[in-house]
Structure 1
């Protein structure tokens, strides 16, 4: 049974990956019953799953994903034509999904421009190993650093000058991540509410954000300065 904290962290990771992470497009008529979306969210990768190659072409144009997994069983235009089309409009890392009955199709997909093969049902760990060695490696999207501060969303870890600090409460972790991504720019109060509470209509006031900022300042010490820019938001400088 999944604990409430684990559910909260999982929800955060999905939101973080969708807004700031890498994009992985999966074109497959099946369903994500292998936990691929959860497994990739923890590594800073957002998975968009579509059942047909026609929807895949639309999603590809919208997302410009770093990597695309394609099943030869996906209906619509043939998978080989799909691979040729997307390779002609960018440089995604294309992975062909392998099932015994489609082995010949996978071979044709490799000739059309696919770079690797992964077996179905998908294993998040196996697919991750393929993707981090691709020409558009996804690994860096799980980490963000500014000066001496490094945040790793996959490991739920913060280091200062290379030393891991005590685990931050979830809201402070989200707050730090949002500030690091924009540093030294300003993150507005509205953007911080989106990052910390999503679209919940009961999102708290600015005083609650200020409380979390005060706590985060104490944890960072001299490593970073979180400043309030009146009427605009907060910024982090090191």
Structure 2
């Protein structure tokens, strides 16, 4: 592998790690209850769309994760162990109105696939396994709770789109930001006009594990971001607290 290919692969891995951190903290949540785990393939694909996937193998674990994550939508397989799947659907619908999708086994007749009782219990759609990210995304766009807000952030004239990895100012796309500056801007926009602490920025830019740089490195990225944003926004240092993003 060439040095250039190595750098490109490292960047892709860094972007994937960032997307997973971003959607877990600020993205839409999808709960999948299915004993046939796909090894994280769906989570990987949906992360780029701003959707964090939690996958569990039983309806009992599903109840726990439903209460913990308050998901926007739930996919449930009819044969999931634990309490009957249709009872699981009934229980979670008593605690809100989640968008429930029944997981079929690839047959055309929903009844034959075992999802008929799930539809009667309150499921609104059917998705064929293995779950295709594009099909799931199309279904999720019809969920009662909007997903678009989690892929796009807007603060004044600045719009950040995590799915397109783009930043626009007054509707015009600016040159792609380096990854750390993109993460920095995203963290500041999420809190704007509030303050983001140095520790929160370290989590956003480098994760919570391993060696993390000090304040001088953060200050360097802030300086570069200020230059890219120009006069449309200001990243202020709040002594002893952190940084905040303000727009004119």
Both proteins in one fold, TM over 0.5: yes
Task: Tell whether the 8 Å contact from 1:72 to 1:102 is kept in structure 2 after alignment.
Answer: no
Residue in structure 1 matched with residue 58 of structure 2 by the alignment: 52
Q: Residue 142 of structure 1 aligns with which residue?
A: 151
**How far apart, in 2, do the equivalents of 1:17 and 1:196 lie?**
14
Choose from 87, 90, 96 the match for 2:93. 87
Shift of 1:33: 4.4
2:234 corresponds in structure 1 to 225
Gaps of 5+ in 2: none
Corresponding residue pairs, total: 238
User: Please, what TM-score do these two structures have when normalized by structure 1?
Assistant: 0.96
**Secondary structure class of the residue paired with 2:115:** helix
Kept after mapping to 1: 8 A contact 2:99/2:124: yes
Structure 1: runs of 5 or more not aligned: none
Q: Which residue of 1 aligns with 2:31?
A: 25
Match in the other structure for 2:133:
124
What RMSD in Å do the two structures reach over aligned CA positions? 1.5
Structure 1 position 186, deviation (Å) = 0.2
CA distance in 2, matches of 1:33, 1:230: 45
| 2:121 equivalent to 1:112 | yes
Runs of 4+ in 1 over 4 A off after TM superposition: none
Question: What TM-score do you get using the length of structure 2 for normalisation?
Answer: 0.93
Question: 2:15 is matched with which residue: 9, 13, 31?
Answer: 9
**Residue aligned with 1:178, SS:** helix
> 1:206 is matched with which residue?
215
